[in-house]
Amino acid sequence: MGEVCQIVVEGASDAIMIKRLIGTMVEDALDWKGKETGKGGFWHCRLPNGCTLCLRVLGGYQRLTSVGAELHRAKELDDCRISMNLLVLDADTPATGGGHAQRRQWVQDVVQAFQNPPNVDVFLLPNNASDGTLETLLLSARAREVQRVDGCLDAFTQCLAHNQAPYPLGDKMVFSLYAWLFDKTAATRLRVDSAIKNEAIVDFDSHAFMPLRAFLQRHLRLDGAAETTGESGEH
């Protein structure tokens, strides 16, 4: 089967984003095979360079503590050996129990605690340097079409803050509002996932994706990927 690399993400929305981003980095469409399994999921495809790429959904970053075996071998692919794992997780914020430095240290501690530590490199969304989430990245990469309502949503969120709304709008909810306004094709619970697939909402050529694009290119060696600079993860 040759070299096998695995990308590990938190949720289904992350997997959709990764598939679409990698799709912009290769000339021909990739043939992803696999499925969601409860809160998790597993897909695989063959890259143009002949390597096999796996994509695993944890179903929450905390589940990283229980997938040590899956970071060494993919039982879904005849128990093949995985040479490298790319952990793409949310940095989150101190307010939600995370933050870039704290989450990176947590991931390193978890990996080193495995009886046989796997090969990993870590990228924390949004840009491997700042606090935030997938939605922070998506907001930074919103297409010009949706930017015309920026002032409206800014005024709305400021109004809620001024009136001490019980639940302040975080990046996930704000991106959900953009999705609700501009993507009417999906059921409410799937609207964010649908919006990620909509090029009129998320611009995958945005500078906001450059750090993650460079991280993936460095490991996957995809022809046609944009050469760029960005913060790198740690082995």
Same domain assignment for residues 4 and 69: yes
Same domain, 197 and 216: no
Q: What is the pLDDT of residues 38-73, one digit of tens each?
A: 778 999 999 999 999 999 999 999 999 999 999 999
Tell me: the pLDDT tens digits for 80-123? 999 999 999 999 999 889 999 999 999 999 999 998 999 999 99
**CATH code, domain carrying 8:** 3.40.50
Bridge-based pairing of strands 40-46 and 33-37 is: antiparallel
Query: Whole-model pTM?
Result: 0.88
Q: Does pLDDT of 228 surpass 50?
A: no
**Domain match, 77 and 193 both:** no
Same domain, 194 and 235: no
- In-domain check, residue 137: no
User: Tell me: the pLDDT tens digits for 137-172?
Assistant: 999 999 998 999 999 989 998 898 888 887 777 888
Co-location of 112 and 224 in the same domain: yes
Task: Return the structure tokens found at 52.
Answer: 């096999």
73, 54: one domain: yes
Residues 192 and 122 in one domain: no
| Same domain? 32 vs 76 | yes
In a domain, 148, yes or no: yes
Q: 176-205 as b/e, with b when 16 or more CB fall inside 10 Å?
A: bbbbeebbeeeeeeebbbbbbebeebbbbe
For the chain, the helix, strand and coil percentages under 3-state DSSP, each to the nearest 5: 45, 20, 40
Range of the domain at 7: 1-132+207-235
78-115: string of b/e by CB count within 10 Å (b at 16+)? eebebebbbbbbbbbbeeeebbbeebbebbeebbeebe
Instruction: Tell me, yes or no, whether 57 lies in a domain.
Output: yes
So what's the pLDDT on residue 14? 96
Q: Quick one: tokens of 111?
A: 């990996």
Number of domains present in the structure of the chain: 2
Residue 65 lies in a domain: yes
Does 127 share its domain with 212? Answer: yes
- List the structure tokens of 11: 């949720």
For residue 2, what pLDDT band results from cuts at 50, 70 and 90?
A: confident
- Whether the Cβ atoms of residue 6 and residue 74 lie closer than 8 Å to each other: yes
Name residue 124's beta-bridge partners: 89
pLDDT of residue 42: 97
Residue 32 has pLDDT above 70, yes or no: yes
Q: Are residues 199 and 235 in the same domain?
A: no
> Within this chain, do residues 161 and 73 fall inside the same structural domain, yes or no?
no
Whether the Cβ atoms of residue 168 and residue 226 lie closer than 8 Å to each other:
no
Of the pLDDT bands very low, low, confident and very high (cuts 50, 70, 90), residue 185 is low
Same domain, 172 and 73: no
Q: Helices 150-162 and 171-182, interaxial angle, to 10°?
A: 140
What is each CA distance from 24 to 17, 77, 81, 99, 182, in whole angstroms?
Answer: 11, 25, 27, 29, 22
